[in-house]
């Protein structure tokens, strides 16, 4: 039996979903909203009810779940450098809200090692469906920024993809001027970004149980 508060919440969500129909135009969105309305009208609150929902952008969910199941996570976003503008009068205008936002940072305090992990819900089976130049540059810049906080720390950059067996080992910055088809010259000023794959069902199971993935954490922190 639903109490008055739960009934009020249901009525609020039902009204919001009905109003949303006028704002959505694709058949898929309208069909999804109608199913949500049907659920709120008839099934919500019943112990035997079944509700299935899909996410259009699972990347955010993947990032969130990995951040919860990994150990040794730290939030350093508020400490990372941020942009500032100087106006024509010479005044410095800070723009902290436009600062860097890392996905996940792991820190081994005993060895003073950091791993900057970018959770990517990509197949990453070849260069066509792997992270692009913008993703690579962002990670390299995160590493450079983290060095300003702790110059003596060891820093490792990684992409974490869903999958059991992965095809990609690492991402490197290659010199197109000096490289040939037979000889590849990598620019050592840019550290590699290592690629890791983990079973998404295992991540989901650990997330739902509130457990930590110690083995994956150790693997991401391990020196290469």
- pLDDT tens digits along 8-37: 545 555 555 554 444 444 566 666 666 666
pTM for the full model?
A: 0.74
Helices (H), 70-213: 133-149, 200-209
Residues 67 and 15 grouped into a single domain: no
Residues 38 and 115 grouped into a single domain: no
**99 inside domain:** yes
* pLDDT range class, residue 5, cuts 50, 70, 90: very low
pLDDT score for 24: 43
CA 54 – CA 36 distance, rounded (Å): 11
**29 inside domain:** yes
- Planar angle of CA 63, 57, 205, nearest 5 degrees: 50
Domain count of the chain?
A: 2
Is residue 208 within 8 Å of 170, Cβ to Cβ?
Answer: no
Beta bridge partners of 171: 193
pLDDT in tens, 131-180: 999 999 999 999 999 999 999 999 999 999 999 888 999 999 999 999 99
Residues 66 and 129 grouped into a single domain: yes
pLDDT score for 2: 47
Residues 22 and 64 grouped into a single domain: no
Residues 108 and 201 grouped into a single domain: yes
**54 inside domain:** no
**50 inside domain:** no
Residues 119 and 189 grouped into a single domain: yes
Domain that holds residue 30: 4-43
Closest CA to 61 of 223, 208, 209, 222: 208
**72 inside domain:** yes
pLDDT score for 208: 87
pLDDT score for 21: 46
Residues 68 and 170 grouped into a single domain: yes
- Averaged pLDDT for residues 111-135: 93
CA 57 – CA 77 distance, rounded (Å): 23
Q: What does the chain come to in residues? A: 224
pLDDT score for 25: 46
């Amino acid at each position: 039996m639903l109490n008055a508060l739960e009934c009020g919440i249901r009525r609020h969500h039902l009204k919001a979903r009905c109003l949303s129909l006028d704002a959505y135009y694709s058949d898929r969105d309208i069909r999804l909203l109608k199913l949500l309305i049907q659920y709120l009208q008839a099934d919500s609150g019943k112990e035997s009810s079944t509700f299935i929902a899909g996410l259009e952008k699972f990347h955010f969910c993947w990032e969130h779940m990995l951040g919860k199941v990994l150990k040794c996570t730290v939030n350093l976003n508020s400490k990372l450098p941020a942009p500032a503008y100087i106006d024509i009068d010479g005044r410095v205008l800070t723009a902290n809200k436009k600062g860097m936002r890392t996905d996940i940072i792991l820190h081994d305090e005993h060895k003073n090692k950091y791993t900057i992990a970018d959770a990517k819900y990509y197949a990453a089976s070849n260069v066509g469906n792997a992270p692009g130049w913008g993703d690579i540059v962002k990670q390299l810049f995160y590493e450079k920024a983290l060095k300003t906080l702790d110059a003596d720390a060891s820093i490792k950059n990684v992409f974490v993809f869903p999958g059991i067996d992965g095809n990609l080992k690492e991402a490197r910055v290659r010199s197109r001027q000096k490289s040939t088809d037979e000889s590849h010259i990598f620019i050592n000023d840019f550290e590699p970004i290592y690629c890791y794959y983990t079973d998404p069902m295992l991540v989901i199971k650990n997330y739902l149980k509130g457990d930590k993935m110690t083995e994956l954490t150790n693997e991401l922190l391990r020196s290469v």
